Structure 1
């Protein structure tokens, strides 16, 4: 009887009250999400705000200006450091794209002694602290007597870039039908042709996605680059760090905003490529 009464009471509740209650729950979720994102991105908002500050000191607001953005293009040290960072990133990512793809395909398609051990070792750069990689690389270069330069930074960045490309490609190749290559071989294609015309086009979105992640991380790296850089081989993060020792200036704020926008654009491109790849797979 009690259950029937409670059920009847629930039936008698107006529909408007039920809708208001559900809306209230959704609004609390929205408020919590908004607060979370506000907490996460508040430093970026403050950085962006003060990048338009007319004052040479970030703590004092004296008006709106764009001179700090235009000043960056006249700063030879910033442009040289940016050129070095782009050179390192493009070379490291290009080498890692080839080696990482072959590594992922070899681990997925072939069997050989010590495969499990090799798989674990190949992904170690993803979990090993950067300081350990930096010190190990520096010691290795000192043992083989290689002078530090821009090329030693490239070699050090290839180490962790390979792992990011390989992880993306491995995740992609695990969802592909292995019989596609067998069908190509049965139709008369050589193993290289089967890889080039059948497997590689399917892996291309994952390769590009891994390269974009590795490119952003290479551009952002400071610790490994500072340990393996030679005289005159200053990357952009190293240049920024050397300038903020005496205080953060508005031109560095402007440079940081530009880097954030470029990183966001790269992430957006990677997400669009992933989305288009998923749409093609389900068609």
Structure 2
């Protein structure tokens, strides 16, 4: 009886956050969806969707967005797991400082990391400068930053700490005696990682990977600052249609598709990671 009488009070407490969420997120999203059905000619029509879906630029942007996000997420998961395992289980001087730096790294804007890569691997960056000074060539060999591979490198570099942070938290809860016992029984490092460390890391990998996937699907600054030619993602296409072409219905259509793709791939990733994590 006590729990029943408390239900109305809990409902009242839920009203303010739901109202704020509706005002700040759901209402603007509803306006975007509404605009996507209103062509410049007036009225309500599916013509904006037909025009966007018939565009080769949209199909290319959709494919580029999906494969870049999937590849970056896979790279972050692998690299993040390796680096977090080294920091957590391989003692070396400065390990704690590195772990603290990861927390600071998470606050960096994405374009800052991209600029750092440009200073190193850009056309006039340090790596190409050293190459030209040594070899006397007119230009250096590092010309990949303005390609999809440069975008992929920048995304993996920037988003890997978002995987490492939950992994380090999970490893801090792991009893080190399990690793020591497995090692004393003659288990090789690969087997220890596979049978002791990896099962404990799966929930953290799922959390970090899902976050990275959603962020990569909606990343704008990295693609913009690399200046990658021919690399157009859905967020870049929204920018181009809204700002450069003044095609607001088309931009809203792409934005709606971007939201649906993000939610769909996020849901698929969570289902797959949950099933993988449930396996013994």
1:28-177 correspondence runs (5 A): 28-40=12-24, 41-53=26-38, 55-56=39-40, 62-63=43-44, 65-142=45-122, 143=125, 144-145=127-128, 146-147=142-143, 148-177=146-175
Equivalent position of 1:183 in the other structure: 181
Distance 1:275 1:93 in 2: 16
Distance 2:69 2:76 in 1: 10
Change (3 A) 1:31 1:120: closer
Counterpart contact for 2:114–2:222, Cα < 8 Å = yes
CA RMSD of aligned residues (A): 3.0
Distance 2:86 2:275 in 1: 26
Change (3 A) 1:197 1:138: same
Shift of 1:153: 0.8
Superposition TM-score, scaled by structure 2 size: 0.78
Distance 1:274 1:206 in 2: 10
Counterpart contact for 1:104–1:166, Cα < 8 Å = yes
State which drifts further: 115-124 or 262-271: 262-271
Shift of 1:176: 2.5
State which drifts further: 92-101 or 239-248: 239-248
Distance 2:222 2:204 in 1: 26
Distance 2:270 2:64 in 1: 27
Q: Rg larger in 1 or in 2?
A: 1
Change (3 A) 1:98 1:203: same
3-state DSSP of counterpart to 1:264 = helix
Shift of 1:178: 2.4
Distance 1:24 1:117 in 2: 49
Counterpart contact for 2:182–2:192, Cα < 8 Å = yes
Equivalent position of 2:260 in the other structure: 261
Which stretches in structure 2 are left out of the alignment for 5+ residues? 129-141
Distance 1:172 1:274 in 2: 16
Which stretches in structure 1 are left out of the alignment for 5+ residues? 1-18
Superposition TM-score, scaled by structure 1 size: 0.78
How many residues are matched? 257
Change (3 A) 1:212 1:23: closer
